[in-house]
Amino acid sequence: MNKGIFLDRDGTINIEKDYLHRIEDFEFEDGALEALKIFQDLEYKIIVVTNQSGIARGYYSEEDLALLNDYMIKEAKKEGIEISAVYYCPHHEEKGVGQYKIKCECRKPNPGMLLKGIEEFKIDPSQSYMVGDRKSDLEAGDRSGIKSILVKTGYGKNNSDQLEGKYPVYENLLAFAQSLTKKD
């Protein structure tokens, strides 16, 4: 069985920008690449799980998202980091249009994307983490049997007071990664 780090994308790996879909607007959070390298060095599979309601709302296409995710993966690879998978949910039950207006199991806080990663990469949930900046990220981790971690980047800076105590809270992804080096 493998260990996994499941990561929300927007506000955790990259700077939160509403409905981010253009490569020129993508910026890694400070220390994010260093954090990913630490996870990899500790032999965690790195799996990104991201809600993308901008697709559901018709703001951008799945092709636009694929280009952006490919860019993120290539930038990580330049640093010697392998992102094992990027799963995304293009649905929104209320605000979606057309085929994307459905109730699904993949939209966090539902665990669908995490369960897919657990199965595909033979992940041991008891040795794995879900890291994100929103309550929905943490609840998806809970529903998957994975320990959940809140970072104070993105929306996490506004959510940390209400979630601290229930979940461990770190300043950013790098601070969490560094904490793992002390445990392993």
Task: Note the pLDDT tens digit of each residue in 11-30.
Answer: 999 999 999 999 999 999 99
Burial label, 63 (beta-carbon count in 10 A; 0-12, 13-18, 19+) = exposed
Place of tokens 């699904």: 104
pLDDT score for 160: 74
Q: In 35-139, at which residue ranges do the beta strands (DSSP E only) sit? A: 44-51, 85-89, 129-132
Would the pLDDT of 184 be above 60? no
Residue-wise pLDDT for 93-137, tens only, equals: 999 889 999 999 999 999 999 999 999 999 999 999 999 999 999
Q: Say whether 137 is catalytic.
A: no
* CA proximity to 104, closest of 55, 165, 41: 55
Alpha-carbon distance of 90 to 160, in angstroms, equals 26
Q: Say whether 64 is catalytic.
A: no
Residue-wise pLDDT for 48-58, tens only, equals: 999 999 999 99
Of the residues 8, 25, 137, 161, which is catalytic? 8
Give the CATH class of 3-183: alpha beta
Of the residues 10, 70, 124, 133, which is catalytic? 10
Annotated domain spans of the chain: 3-183
Per-residue tokens: 36: 């990913």
pLDDT score for 159: 76
- What order do you get walking across the sheet with 85-89 strand by strand? 85-89, 44-51, 3-7, 129-132, 147-151, 169-170
pTM: 0.95
